[in-house]
Amino acid sequence: MKKVGVAILGMGVVGGGTYKILKEHRELYQKSYKVDLTVEVVLERDRSKALALGIEEDRIAANIQEICSNPDVDIVVEVMGGVEPAKTFVLDCLRAGKSVVTSNKELFCKYSHELEAVAKKNHCGLFYEASCVGGVPVIRSLLDNLQGNNILSMMGIINGTTNYILTKMAEEGAAYEDVLKEAQRLGYAEANPAADVEGYDATYKLSILSSLAFHTKIPYTKIYREGITNISVADIEYGKKFGYVLKLLAIGKNGENGIEVRVHPSFIKSSHPLASVGDSYNAVYITGDCVEDVMLYGRGAGALPTGSAIVGDIIYCATHTNYQYSTFKNTEEAAQSTKFVENFESAYYIRLNATDRTGVLAKVSSIFAKCKISVAQMLQERGPVGEDGATPVIFITHVTRENNIKKAVQLINESEEVAKVAAVIRVVS
């Protein structure tokens, strides 16, 4: 039986889940894959976390060098999160000839070029299934099962915290701040929720996934990002009247004019499969030229779901000798030949707080016409029910360009006759 020693860096939620799975499934893996996977050593500053999991004192390393020089360690699992010291530790392990499995999306998104170069040079594996969408096997699907396709687009709900918040706002009519507090109390949202609610977490994941899907480096800095902090219950409710559900979507498209990558709140039709992905669940909807539409759905976070992705990588690493690396030149910047679409096309939801008097609609219509925006649907509330006694007027536009909308918003806000643009939300058409 092949013996494979594992080290785990970080014994928090995911480290603990990984340890538990490896311990409880050891015999299953021996029988099924003919490998004996054992956790030889862990690295955790707070020793009590490791001890609480039943790990013996002498298996808690004092520093990363103890792991690098341990001949019984073949694979190192990095589940610390953040860039440093995780980056230094991962590089040290790769240079020492250890293969690495990581769940660290920020590290992999920002430094995969550096990590991969060192992994290749030292003939080590570098695996990162758990970095995107937790237990949902999207990375291996892109690398292996879908590789026969030209991937045309992907659309995902890839952040569980924001999906939980938007779901609760929609179901309970509760305000953003109240639901955020509830999410923090339940442990979904961090004390500092910025990475999730401002869309950074989804942006890191989309950078990794779209690079794999489109076979070219998509730096996260090229991704348009907008979080959910300005979303009001009023817009979720008005969206429902048009048959829409609001989601924080990560969108990647590879079209004739180039690559389009963006993370922002989006209305989608309630009949779309992504609309039914609620609570903290995640899903990625991929369209390939051969397979057509595929949706992968499941838990994007949590001890055992993320541990499942990590252990899958450990078993793959332990049973393969030819490691896979990127299918594109993995550099810090995008390749010169990669074109990005910034003035992208979309339909839009626009809510105005208008003064209810003659000429207001005429003025708005003339601005829309000037900006080449065609209205598909419109709704006006009767009487001054909106903010500051204004009348809410909602438009759904036909597909137009982002810059047309920006110009129209500016002109409406500058006009005397009309109050203000209260919300602009892109609509998936």
Q: Are the C-beta atoms of 305 and 299 separated by less than 8 Å? A: yes
Query: How open is the CA angle 237-243-249, to the nearest 5 degrees?
Result: 80
Shortest distance in whole angstroms from residue 81 CB to ligand HSE = 9
Assess whether the previous peptide bond of 137 is cis (omega < 30° from 0).
no
User: Residues interacting with ligand HSE, by CB under 6 A?
Assistant: 105, 159-161, 196, 201, 300-301
Which lies closer to ligand HSE via its Cβ, residue 74 or residue 201? 201
Q: Specify whether 339 is catalytic.
A: no
Helix axes 86-95, 105-121, angle to 10 degrees: 20
Closest listed residue to residue 7, CA positions, set 45, 46, 39: 39
Structure tokens at 224: 């348009």
Question: What is the CB-side half-sphere exposure of residue 187 using CA atoms within 13 A?
Answer: 4
Cβ contacts of 295 within 8 Å, gap of 6 or more: 273, 274, 283, 284, 285, 286
User: What phi and psi, each to the nearest 5 degrees, are found at residue 251?
Assistant: -125, 130
Shortest distance in whole angstroms from residue 214 CB to ligand HSE = 22
Which lies closer to ligand HSE via its Cβ, residue 301 or residue 422? 301
Radius of gyration of the chain (CA): 24
What DSSP letter does each residue of 8-61 carry, written as one string?
EE--SHHHHHHHHHHHHTHHHHHHHHSEEEEEEEEE-SSHHHHHHTT--GGGB-
Which lies closer to ligand HSE via its Cβ, residue 101 or residue 393? 101
What DSSP letter does each residue of 342-391 carry, written as one string?
-S-EEEEEEEEEE--STTHHHHHHHHHHHTT--EEEEEE-SSS-SGGGPE
Helix axes 13-24, 303-319, angle to 10 degrees: 60
Which lies closer to ligand HSE via its Cβ, residue 5 or residue 300? 300
Which lies closer to ligand HSE via its Cβ, residue 90 or residue 318? 90
Which lies closer to ligand HSE via its Cβ, residue 206 or residue 405? 206
What does each C-alpha distance from 4 to 166, 209, 315 come to in angstroms?
43, 29, 9
Q: How many CB atoms lie within 10 A of CB 379?
A: 13
Shortest distance in whole angstroms from residue 184 CB to ligand HSE = 12
Which lies closer to ligand HSE via its Cβ, residue 159 or residue 353? 159
Shortest distance in whole angstroms from residue 219 CB to ligand HSE = 19
Shortest distance in whole angstroms from residue 134 CB to ligand HSE = 7
Cβ contacts of 337 within 8 Å, gap of 6 or more: 216
Shortest distance in whole angstroms from residue 55 CB to ligand HSE = 24
Shortest distance in whole angstroms from residue 425 CB to ligand HSE = 21
Q: Which of 87, 98, 105, 205 is catalytic?
A: 205
Residues annotated as catalytic (active site), given as ranges: 205
